[in-house]
Amino acid sequence: MRETTIALCFVLLLFSFPTISNAKDNKEPDLVSEAAFLLDSDTGAVLFEKNGYKKMYPASLTKIATAIYAIEKGNMDDVITVSENAYATEGTRVYLEQGEQVTLKHLLDGMLINSGNDAAVAIAEYLDGSISNFERNINQFLNEKVNVHSTHFKNPSGLYHKDHYTTANDLAVITQYAMQNETFRQIFGTSELKWDGLSWDTTLVSHHQMVNGSRPYDKVTGGKTGFVNESKQTLATTAENEELNLVAIVLKGNFKRDVYKDTKDLLDYGFNQYTHKVIPAGKSYFVNGLTYETTKEEKITIPRSKGEEEITSSGLLMIEDDNGDILQSIQLAKVMPAEETFKVDTSDQVVREEEKSSFPAIVLIIPIALCFVFYMKRRTIRR
């Protein structure tokens, strides 16, 4: 009896361990920063958000938008003459001199790697002639080209202004968009670069500690830091493994250690909990007597544990996580029922087929009727 009880307890403990482990693994990160967003860059799936749609001050994360705008609009080999306005810009600098001539590519290096505000202003003036023109044009670019709608930038660097704002969600989408560009990806992931300036020769080292290696994270592919008093610490990070490409945005952390820990927790959560699945083109879904299908091959993000696929009556396929939160959605195409298509497209043929099919039936009925009459007559004669 004693041996049976011990064995039973052992079995119960054995089965309880996976449950405890899964509960721990599935736990969402507990962040201290005020806002955060984790995006699957490949599919656009929202893997985590905390105050992700709240208006925030981005500080130098603004330079991600300035960079991709400049890359798309400008010429990397163009030589730019540094203005007095750019030279006098406050905050972090690459110590450009008034009248110094620098290529757009080199200014982008100084702006993204060393967060040079002077380089950002020189770029904006080159692109649009003035900061006021830049303000109008970059906001139009972000709205129409990048498709973000909760962002308004007053300047190219991220220096505080009450009307210079964005959201963690918008920053994730801007970074996702920028990472599609090879030039941006290369600069964004550079850990250090020799800088030969008119008055300053040095080696620029990325301010992002996961990129420069002082806080190692082997999956990181790029990043940008930011700080002004009003925004506190801000951090944008991209990372990838064999399956996923992630964008992590963390805003308004009190200390650097906070935003880096929050970023690590976000990335660990994304890589540990999610993977990809491919839905083939032409896969059918049925709801309320209607049929919908995928028009092309679709890559979706799914939880490694469970999760659900739900479809609305309008054919919107929603992929949900373990908590029922929507990761992403795909609009499916409605498929007309086969019989409806047949009646609309080949109605004349249907009539003709019915007419042709009635002829053989008559031919068969007549001989049968004649045989029956003949048989009845013979019975009468015999009587």
Q: Among 33, 41, 50, 60, which one carries the catalytic annotation? A: 60
Output the DSSP codes for 127-153.
HHSSHHHHHHHHHHHIIIII---S-B-
Closest to 247 in 3D by CA, of 70, 49, 56:
49
Using alpha carbons, select from 14, 19, 38 the residue that is nearest to residue 267.
Answer: 38
Instruction: State the catalytic residue, choosing from 50, 63, 252, 264.
Output: 63
Go through 121-143 and write b for each residue having 16 or more CB atoms within 10 A of its CB, e for each that does not. Answer: bbbbbbbbeebeebbebbbeebe
- Among the options 33, 115, 206, 231, which is catalytic? 115
DSSP 228-296: ETTTEEEEEEEEE-SS-EEEEEEEEESSHHHHHHHHHHHHHHHHHHEEEEEEPTT-EEEETTEEEE-SS
Cα 89 from chain centroid (whole Å): 34
Assess whether 63 carries a catalytic annotation: yes
Q: Which candidate, 234, 225, 264, 266, places its Cα nearest to that of 252? A: 234
Three-class DSSP category at 23: helix
Question: Does 347 qualify as catalytic in the annotation?
Answer: no
The counts of H helices and E strands in the chain are 12, 17
- Residue 38 is classified by DSSP as E
Contact 50, 169 (CB under 8 A): no
* CA gap 160, 66 in Å, rounded: 16
Beta bridge partners of 245: 240
Residue 115 annotated among the catalytic residues of the structure: yes
Tokens standing for 94?
A: 């690459």
Tokens 């001989």 label which residue? 367
Residues 38, 270 contacting (CB under 8 angstroms): yes
- Residue 83 one-letter amino acid: S
List the catalytic residues.
Answer: 60, 63, 115
